[in-house]
Amino acid sequence: MQQSLIQLAKAAPRVKAPRPTSRAPRLSLEHFIQRQRVLSLWRTIVRSIYKTPKDRRPELLAYAKGEFARHKHVTDLSQIRYLISTGKTEFDQPRDDVYGPYDSSYLQPSAPLTHTSSPIVTGTSVLGAKFKDGVVIAADNLASYGSLARFTDVKRIRTFPPNTAIGFGGDVSDMQYLDRLLSSLDIRENYLASAEHRLNAKNLHTYLSKVLYKRRSNFDPLWNQILVAGLDEEGKPFLASADLLGTTFSAPTLATGFGAHLAQPLLRKLAPKDEESVPEITREQAVQGVRECMKVLYYRDARSMDKYSIAVVTKDGVELSEDESLENQSWAFADQIRRQLQVQNSAPTSSGRTFGGQLTRLDGAAPSFVPPSTSPPPSTAGSENPQSTSQKQKQSRHPKQRQRKTSVSRSAAPDIATRIHDDIGHAAAERSFKLLFPVAPDRHHAPFHVDGQLAVATLKLLIIATKRMKNARNCDDECARLERNRNLALALHISDDHTDDHVPYSTATLTAYLQDVAWAHKQEELLRLFAADENEKRYRFKPMKPRQRAFLHSLAEDFGLDSESIDPEPHRHVILFKTPKFVAAPMKTLAQAARLRKSQLNILAPVENVAKKAVKPQFNGFLLARPRFALTEDELWPVVQKAAPNTAFSISFLSNEQGIALIPTAQETDIATTLLTRLQPSLSAEIIKAKLAGTVNLAQFDTTSVDTRVVHVQDTQTADSSGGWSQVAAKKAAPIMTARVAEPVDDK
pLDDT value for 574? 92
- The architecture in CATH of the region 621-733 reads 2-Layer Sandwich (3.30)
pLDDT at 703 over 90: no
Note whether 585 and 531 are within 8 A (CB): yes
Write the burial class of residue 407 (CB in 10 Å: 0-12 exposed, 13-18 middle, 19+ buried): exposed
Q: Which whole-number Å values give the CA distances from 295 to 133, 271, 360, 667, in the listed order?
A: 24, 20, 14, 111
pLDDT at 59 over 70: yes
pLDDT at 232 over 60: yes
pLDDT at 373 over 50: no
Query: In terms of Cα–Cα distance, which of 413, 433, 434, 435 is closest to 422?
Result: 413
449: confidence class by pLDDT, cuts 50, 70, 90: very low
Residue of higher predicted confidence among 200 and 69: 200
121-325 CATH pick, 3.60.20.10, 3.40.50.300, 1.10.640.10, 1.20.950.20: 3.60.20.10
**How far is it, in rounded angstroms, from Cα 403 to Cα 350?**
24
The pLDDT of 436-463, averaged and rounded, is 50
The pLDDT of 716-737, averaged and rounded, is 44
What is the percent of the chain with per-residue pLDDT over 70, rounded to a whole number? 59
Residue 360 annotated to the active site: no
Q: Give 523-591 as a DSSP string.
A: HHHHHHHHHH-SS--EEEPPP--HHHHHHHHHHHHHHT-EEEEES-TTS-EEEEE--TT-----SS-HH
Of 225-234, 386-395, 411-420, 590-599, give the range with the top mean pLDDT: 225-234
Q: In what order do the strands lie in the sheet with 317-325?
A: 253-255, 126-131, 134-140, 307-314, 317-325
The pLDDT of 477-496, averaged and rounded, is 77
Question: pLDDT, tens digit, for every residue of 266-301?
Answer: 999 888 888 899 999 999 999 999 999 999 999 888
pLDDT at 168 over 90: yes
pLDDT value for 491? 77
The pLDDT of 99-124, averaged and rounded, is 63
671 C-beta neighbours (distance < 10 Å), count: 10
pLDDT value for 31? 64
Q: What average pLDDT does the chain have? A: 72
Query: In terms of Cα–Cα distance, which of 709, 717, 643, 705 is closest to 680?
Result: 643
The reply to whether CATH 3.30.465.10 applies to domain 507-600 is: no
pLDDT value for 308? 94
128: confidence class by pLDDT, cuts 50, 70, 90: very high
**How far is it, in rounded angstroms, from Cα 17 to Cα 636?**
115
pLDDT at 1 over 80: no
314 pairs with which residues across the strands?
317
Which residues, in sequence order, are CB contacts of 677 under 8 Å at separation 6+?
A: 619, 698, 720, 721
Residue of higher predicted confidence among 63 and 129: 129
pLDDT at 219 over 60: yes
Note whether 640 and 627 are within 8 A (CB): no
pLDDT value for 667? 59
pLDDT value for 745? 45
412 C-beta neighbours (distance < 10 Å), count: 8
**Angle at the Cα of 688 from the Cα atoms of 683 and 691, rounded to 5 degrees:** 135
pLDDT at 624 over 80: yes
pLDDT at 380 over 50: no
pLDDT value for 455? 54
Q: Give 644-682 as a DSSP string.
A: -TT--EEEEEPSTT--EEEEESS--HHHHHHHHHHHHHH
Look at 177-186, 218-227, 486-495 and tell me which has the smallest mean pLDDT.
486-495
53: confidence class by pLDDT, cuts 50, 70, 90: confident
pLDDT value for 344? 43
**How far is it, in rounded angstroms, from Cα 672 to Cα 695?**
20
pLDDT at 230 over 70: yes
Note whether 145 and 119 are within 8 A (CB): no
The pLDDT of 234-261, averaged and rounded, is 93
The active-site residue, picked from 44, 52, 116, 507, is 116
Look at 286-295, 307-316, 400-409, 558-567 and tell me which has the smallest mean pLDDT.
400-409
| Ordered alpha helix ranges (H), 381-451 | 386-397, 416-425, 429-436
